[in-house]
Structure 1
Amino acid sequence: MELLLPEIGLLFWTLLAFLVVFFILRKYGWPAIIKGLHDREKSIADALSTAEKVKLEMAQLKNDNEALLAKAREERAALLKEAKETKDKIINDAKDEAKVQAAKIIADAQASIQQQKMAALTDLKNQIGNLVIETSEKVLRKELSNKAEQENYIKTLAAEVKLN
């Protein structure tokens, strides 16, 4: 039972030792411990605020990146649309130019054909006129007394003309 009921002397010295340690800790230990706790609390609060700022900045950067991507997609779509319109315009211009050139070539060919046709007709008329003149000259030079001989001679000349 001695362990459960300590003597007064033991209680006094234990209390005196406790009070000495308590006052030394209160004078030198507690301010350092409190200061350390406050510093730790401040550094944790600063770290949390910094983390919150970084989180907000990251969210802002993410939004900015998404906005830039959306803008880039819009620009790409606009460039593709413009390129397609330009391609279609160039193709249509080329088709129109080809049609104009084809029409010009056809008109030139028709004009050339018409000119050659006219030249051929003129040449043919000249040849026919020359043949008629030659035939008339031959008929007039030969004086025939008989109508049957004249017709026979004309037939002969006509046959010669067909052969040439």
Structure 2
Amino acid sequence: MDIKYNSHDDQITYEKYLEFSHKWLSKCFEWLKDDGRFCLNIPLDKNKGGQQSIGADFTTLAKKIGYKYHSTIIWNEGNISRRTAWGSWLSASAPYVIAPVELIIVLYKKNWRKNGKKISDITKSEFIAWTNGVWTFNGQSKKGAGGHPAPFPVELPKRCKIVRSEIN
């Protein structure tokens, strides 16, 4: 992914990145309960260092591990300020398409339906909005995340947690 971490060299081939990801996705699957759910925030694709369909590749990888696919949420960050790679400027010779979105791939282990009857702490308006397959809210700046090279807003895990879990 070529993210500039302080203590980790992230400049590896895409093939090595998928091998590395297979390891941690397998561990997560191992730890997941039978009715456990897993939301994976991943880029739709990338063009730096070569075109790659990250979202499709990770969905395929997860299914090979044993995850069952439930859905994909498109997170519309609306941020194209990072755009610097046009491919070919004002030319049809090799333009790049840049989508200012990321994906949340929603997976589960064995059973999508939760066992038993527990309470959900989600409001009606949250449920209606958050079961929509497109979420639109701003991303997180590196500065606002203490300089972390791969920031995300708290809103992202909050929605994933509340709409897909129950309280005791």
TM over 0.5: no
Structure number with larger C-alpha Rg: 1
* Structure with the higher fraction of residues in strand conformation: 2
Q: Give the TM-score normalised by the residue count of structure 1.
A: 0.14
Q: Give the TM-score normalised by the residue count of structure 2.
A: 0.14
